[in-house]
Structure 1
Amino acid sequence: MGPLAAIRIRQIAFIPATMLSLTYWYTALGLWCTAGIIWLTLYTHFLITHVQPVVVLWISALLLGLGYGAVTCLSRFGTVVATLIYIAIITLTGVSLAYLFSSGATIFVIVGIMFSLNALFIFYLNISSGLFRPLIFMAVSGIIAAIVVNSLVASSTMVWIVSMLTVLVWTLITALEKSTLHGYARMLYHSEFSSLLRCALFGALTLYLGIINAVVTLCRYIILMILEILLSFRP
């Protein structure tokens, strides 16, 4: 292996700090928009007066299906299509959570603050996600944000617990999606049709949909497990 090839491999082994910072900003923006939709839906009493529970269940099912489908074939989309999908998923998430969990706005604000702080941290210190420090800072900053926000709005014990768990889960998802984000970084170096904006948007969608993808995968494994148990009782 020549020296230039070795430099090239080392160059794409880590996510460029600018791309990762922009990815976190897009993720934070999506989370804050979701919180705004939750608040707006609750403030206008739209779901309570106009929408039946079965409709919300259908919306939730559509959200899970759209989210899982978007994750599996995300790299095929262009920037405009990915943006429209992001907006649609944000809207569906906000409407669903406004009916299912009214305090979701507080939690999404907290996680959005966590990602925005990490975007600043990575941008100004020029640290890529190849190191563990950004993930440690993410968990710590998320917990601090949860303590501050929950104290300011006098959240219930349930919201405190859910917000802390959400911070930890999203930090774990970010760590698990590191290889996917590396793939988007390689697109910057190898593809003529990939821009920083497109790759960062893909990264934000991947992180935003991480929980949805985890829920769908968990449900699939549970269903398969139940089917195996039922089939084992067949004569």
Structure 2
Amino acid sequence: MEKITMSDLIKKQPLITRMMGCIWLMTAFGLWATAGFAWILDYYNITATHQHTAPFFLATVLLLGFGFRLRTKVEEINTLAICVIYFSIISLFAIISASLFPVTFVTLLFGICGAMFLISTLLALCFNINMASRWYALLLICVGWGISFVTNFTLLNSLYLWLISFCFVLLWSFIALRKINVLKLYVRNLYSAAPWTLKHCVVAGALMLYFDFVCFFWSIVMMIFELLNIRRWLQRL
């Protein structure tokens, strides 16, 4: 019996579906890479603590600089440069995550969501689910919650981690749903302008999706810090 690999399944799909599938797989790699980098950085103590905060502030400035550059010049950057930038943003965000939260917390959440994108893409390929539609976002939620349940139940995690992991799955599913139409339009326009840039479209799409998450995540962190500052100010009154 002939074996069917993931690459064979992807090649049988229409072009836009093939590109979106590759973007989701690249996103899964980015999430797992974030978890791995965060663990390595914590192991070697390359995080922002009360002794040294330079890595934290440097990572923040570089991350914002990369982001603004990408917003305006992503079409003009070649594929190799986009891969380097994607790798750099993952590394910088890993520094920020490892500095703000326990490394076990970071590896759990990003590991779950990475598996969510991988398994959802495999299921979509096997059952012919359109990966450029809202059904894929619904599939992400179902698969992500299933992985969260099994992982937290196996590790006997606290209720707090259960809730956070479920919310993290919802966050990534919402971002994917919100960006599906934008990614389809971007990929279609970019590919029609330069049909040989399939890899460029995939990496650029995954990078745009990841940075959209970074911006959303950073706004949530800033909002929490503001609420904590307001609470401290009220306690002093």
TM-score between the two structures when normalised by the length of structure 1? 0.76
Partner secondary structure for residue 47 of structure 2: helix
Partner of 2:92: 92
What is the CA distance between 1:128 and its match in structure 2? 2.7
- Paired letter, 1:31: L
- Paired letter, 1:118: S
Partner of 2:197: 195
Bigger Cα displacement from structure 2, 149-158 vs 20-29 = 149-158
Partner of 1:114: 116
Give me the identity figure in percent: 28
Partner of 1:73: 73
For 2:136 and 2:19, the matched residues in 1 are separated by 14
CA contact (8 A) 2:34 2:110 kept: yes
Partner of 2:157: 155
1:105 pairs, out of 107, 110, 113, with 107
CA contact (8 A) 1:47 1:99 kept: yes
Partner secondary structure for residue 73 of structure 1: helix
Residue 16 (str. 1) matches residue 16 (str. 2): yes
Bigger Cα displacement from structure 2, 205-214 vs 40-49 = 40-49
CA contact (8 A) 1:27 1:112 kept: yes
Q: RMSD value over aligned CA atoms?
A: 2.9
Alignment deviations for residues 167-213 of structure 1 (CA, whole Å, 9 cap, x no partner): 11111111111222112331365123552211111121122112223
Q: Structure 2: which 5+ residue stretches go unaligned?
A: 1-13, 224-237
Partner secondary structure for residue 47 of structure 1: coil
Q: Structure 1: which 5+ residue stretches go unaligned?
A: 1-13, 222-235
CA contact (8 A) 2:17 2:132 kept: no
Partner of 1:226: none
In structure 2, relative to structure 1, the CA distance for the partners of 1:214 and 1:46 (3 Å cut) is closer
What is the CA distance between 1:34 and its match in structure 2? 0.7
Residue 52 (str. 1) matches residue 52 (str. 2): yes
Higher RCO by CA contacts (8 Å cutoff, separation 6 or greater): 1
TM-score between the two structures when normalised by the length of structure 2? 0.76
CA contact (8 A) 2:49 2:99 kept: no
CA contact (8 A) 1:35 1:109 kept: yes
In structure 2, relative to structure 1, the CA distance for the partners of 1:53 and 1:122 (3 Å cut) is same
In structure 2, relative to structure 1, the CA distance for the partners of 1:126 and 1:52 (3 Å cut) is same
Alignment deviations for residues 92-118 of structure 1 (CA, whole Å, 9 cap, x no partner): 111221121121111000110111112
Partner secondary structure for residue 16 of structure 1: helix
Partner of 2:181: 179
Partner of 2:29: 29
Partner of 2:170: 168
In structure 2, relative to structure 1, the CA distance for the partners of 1:46 and 1:130 (3 Å cut) is closer
